[in-house]
Amino acid sequence: MINGIWLAMIVIGFVFAAVNGRMDEFTAAVFDGAKSGVTVSFGLISVLVFWMGMMRVAEDAGLLRKIARLLGPVVGFLFPDVPKGHPAIGYILSNMSANLLGLGNAATPMGIKAMQELQTLNPDKETATPAMCTLLALNTASITLIPATLIAIRLNFGSAEPAGIVGTTLAATAVATLAAIAADRLFRRLTLLRRPPKPPAIRPGDSARGGPALPHSSMKG
Amino acid sequence: MITFIPLYAFTRKVPVYESFVEGAKDGFGTAIAIIPHLVGMLVAISVFRASGALDFLMGFIAPALQGLGVPPEVLPLGLLRPLTGTGSLAYTTDLIRVHGPDSLIGMIASTIQGSTDTTLYVLTVYFGAVGIRNGRYALKVGLFSDIVGFVAAIAICMLAFG
């Protein structure tokens, strides 16, 4: 699906640019987009480096395992196929709590760590597992308790009640999250029905080295 | 959290600094691994916007919204939000500046911005970081929850402030 959307956006963009006589803007947009892709990635370096360092400390201290045991049942319901006590659960929980607190910057590294842990459970390294899809669903619905950025912007423009959006945001985010969980469940069920569970592709002799080189293989801790 | 974690770890006899640096290395590699994915996605989005295709798409949906009493000014936000976080934040800021933070438009825009997320970016970053190519139904679920969040934000704001 992502292949189709990506191609469609570029082709449709090109056709519209040609028809509207905006070829110059089209070309400029290509390099603009590429540049912001690199800028955003570099902007993420500081945050990712800091929080992943912090998360390693928390992990080594046994904090993540503790949280995982405490909130296990919730995650157990949402992620039935992740074994109890697996390190992924700790990261998933940290990711969820950071999102709740509106710490988007801290949520991303934890989400990525969770993904990397879920990847260790994945028999087909290029296809997302249902658990990965659930993690994404939770993140795109972005359960938020305190929309800090928005409150700051509203304050900046002289709002009489900058935090007046907390209630509506909470309500909307709750509805979106429930919808995401429901949709995720439905799709999960549908995929299971469509293709009967095939035997895992890993054979005893297969190590992680067996597959095509993954971009992250060099940085797996 | 920033002081609690290291302090707690220290009492557990964890070599905190070494442990931090070890984990921090992963962060650097991850940020670098994301670059190609992010460049690909942002180019497509930026091209789509600059060519006028986004404006054209909006021309179709705006009249329907007006009939429902929904301020059409918020519509581009619904289309921008899943694609670009900074773009939609810029648009929200602009709506707040023009119409005022406490206007209905300002409230709706703030609520939408706070309750939905940049689905394509999240998908790109998370899957890109572990090398997933086939995201299965993740995109559909993400976009669906964006639509629900967008509609819910408008409906709730119109009930509360309209």
Residues 6+ apart with CB under 8 A from A178: none
ipTM for this model: 0.76
Query: Would you state the structure tokens that stand for residue A30, as one six-digit string?
Result: 């290509």
How many angstroms separate the CA of residue B15 from the nearest CA in chain A?
Answer: 8
Per the CB < 8 Å rule, is A30 touching B53? no
| pLDDT the model gives residue A27 | 94
Per the CB < 8 Å rule, is A176 touching B149? yes
Question: What are the residue ranges of helices labelled H in A61-165?
Answer: 63-70, 72-78, 87-100, 104-120, 130-141, 148-156
| pLDDT the model gives residue A116 | 94
Bridge-partner residues for B134, per DSSP? A127
Per the CB < 8 Å rule, is B136 touching A128? yes
| pLDDT the model gives residue A209 | 40
The pLDDT-based confidence of A194 (bands split at 50, 70, 90) is low
> Of A206-220, B1-15, B117-131, which range is least confident?
A206-220
Q: Which residue has the higher pLDDT, B52 or A71?
A: B52
> Of A47-61, A63-77, A173-187, B51-65, which range is least confident?
A63-77
- Which of A23, A25, A31, A41 would best serve as a mutation to test chain B binding (most B beta carbons within 10 A)? A41
Chain B residues touching residue A179 (CB < 8 angstroms): 144-145, 148-149
Distance of CA A78 to the CA centre of its chain: 15
> Of A128-142, B6-20, B82-96, B120-134, which range is least confident?
B82-96
The pLDDT-based confidence of A163 (bands split at 50, 70, 90) is confident
Report the share of chain A in percent with pLDDT over 70.
83
Question: Is the confidence at residue A105, as pLDDT, over 70?
Answer: no
| pLDDT the model gives residue A25 | 92
Distance between CA A98 and CA B49 in Å, rounded?
31
- Is A189 exposed, middle or buried, given 0-12, 13-18 or 19+ CB atoms closer than 10 A? exposed
Q: Which residue has the higher pLDDT, A74 or B126?
A: B126
Average pLDDT, chain B: 87
Residues 6+ apart with CB under 8 A from B157: A168, B104, B107, B108, B111
| pLDDT the model gives residue A215 | 42
pTM of the shown model = 0.74
Q: Which residue has the higher pLDDT, A193 or B154?
A: B154
Per the CB < 8 Å rule, is A30 touching B39? no
Helices (H) and strands (E) in chain A, counts: 9, 0
